Amino acid sequence: MSDPSHNKLRNTSAMQLLAQDNYAEALRRGLMQVTLAGRDGRKVRIGEGWLTEFINCSYLAIDTRKEVIARSQAIMSEWGVHLCCARSRFSIGPLEELEEGLSTLWGGRAITFPSVTTTHMSTMPLLPSMELSGKKGRVTFLYDKLAHASMQYLRPVLAAEHKVEILPHNDLDALEKAALAAHARGEAVIYVADGVYSMGGVCPIAEVLSLARRVEFALYIDDAHGTSIYGDHGEGTVLAALGHKLPENVALTFSLSKGFGCNGGGVLLPDREAERRVRTFGTTYAFSAPLDFSVVGAGLASLQLHQDGTVKQLQQELRRKVALYDGLVGRELPFSPIRMVELGDEQRAIELGDALKARGHFVSVTFFPIVARGNAMLRVCLGVGHSDEDITALASSLRELGALSR
């Protein structure tokens, strides 16, 4: 008999009905699905006007560095734009060089994919057949409530063969209780969470790792927003906490976009057997193409910046920019380049986003289903590409518009 919880994992019709009016209003005000007419770093042209955007996640501005662009162009001159076949048939030498370089840099076995979402699609259904969970067989997946949507999307797939439970955000007591209950049923446990959450906040990774050792469960952490901005070599929140050594019970995904400054994503696995399993049976690996060649070239240039200490310097500048913003808005939080302005009411969030745009600042307006109903926010992504004047002006506008009163 199928698990009845399987039928409660999605309600697409209700989601669309509840969200459509707010989406329509955001579209009408030009806050979503916007086409840019020009770009100069963090300045973007919309129509005839230029604004400072706090939306894109290129936290270290690696995507606009001359050496990264040059390497991207050079590889296309040699290999063309793309190899239009499944990666299980053909790949190219520079991509193997990139993956081996990432494996050495971060201390695991790295496999790249065109996106972090396609990484999850290939990796997550195979986790129970690996040694991560301590034993093969039926598994309980314990999801943090705020784990990224790209992993939440796979809950029905996982629930077809295993048990899936949702836990309150960063609730370690609930995690321990659920893990012990799963063990009592004879099931292994895999905890699914983010390293840095896309809507702000971080995983208490040191405490989670300690609990995982004591209670014996595996971790699958999406560290896409932590890639490149944590650790001496940009290894992210998890590996930085582990001292650059990936244990047998941990798999993590990384982004080649965001802090890394290119595009695509990947997974870091603890051993070659897990790597072989994903390369053999991963759905998007078997039936989809590899990274575009321009991305491979850019990735190799970014890899060099991670190796030679440049990224470490950029991290320090990013932390300075975030500290500047925090001081100006009067809020002190654990480091993350993502800062949320909590508002609650969806219409108010849309109106404030529009008012900020009129003042020359473009931020993301987030509401259901991106966040819970009645919990609308403004999302501010800070980066080294922002000047101190950009950050100061945004903070002043937020205060003058009353966005910081909550």
Q: What is the DSSP string of 200-252?
A: S-B--HHHHHHHHHHHT-EEEEE-TTTTTTSSTTS-HHHHHHHTS---TTEEE
Q: Is residue 128 part of a domain?
A: yes
Q: Do 45 and 86 have their domain in common?
A: no
Q: What is the CATH number of the domain that holds 107?
A: 3.40.640.10
- Of 267, 289, 307, the residue at which a domain comes to its end is 307
Range of the domain at 261: 66-307
CB 179 within 8 A of CB 218: no
For 7-13, which contacts have Cβ atoms below 8 Å and span 24 or more sequence positions? Answer: 9/155, 9/156, 9/159, 9/164, 10/155, 10/156
User: Is there a single domain that holds both residue 346 and residue 206?
Assistant: no
Q: Indicate whether 286 and 341 sit together in one domain.
A: no
CATH number of domain containing 389: 3.90.1150.10
Q: Are 224 and 255 in contact (CB under 8 A)?
A: yes
Residues 6+ apart with CB under 8 A from 313: none
Backbone torsion region of residue 231, taken as left when φ is above 0, otherwise alpha when ψ lies between -120 and 50, otherwise beta? left
Per-residue pLDDT tens digits of the chain, which is 406 residues long: 334 344 466 678 888 887 788 888 888 999 999 999 999 999 999 988 999 999 999 999 999 999 999 999 999 999 998 888 888 888 899 999 999 999 999 999 999 999 999 999 999 999 998 866 555 668 999 999 999 999 999 999 999 999 999 999 999 999 999 999 999 999 999 999 999 998 878 899 999 999 999 999 999 999 999 999 999 999 999 999 888 788 889 999 999 999 999 999 999 999 999 999 999 999 999 988 889 999 999 999 999 999 999 999 999 999 999 999 999 999 888 899 999 999 988 999 999 999 999 999 999 999 888 787 888 999 999 999 999 999 999 999 999 999 987 5
Instruction: Write down the pLDDT at residue 177.
Output: 97
Do 294 and 373 share a structural domain?
Answer: no
Q: pLDDT value at position 371?
A: 80
The reply to whether 31 and 87 lie within a common domain is no
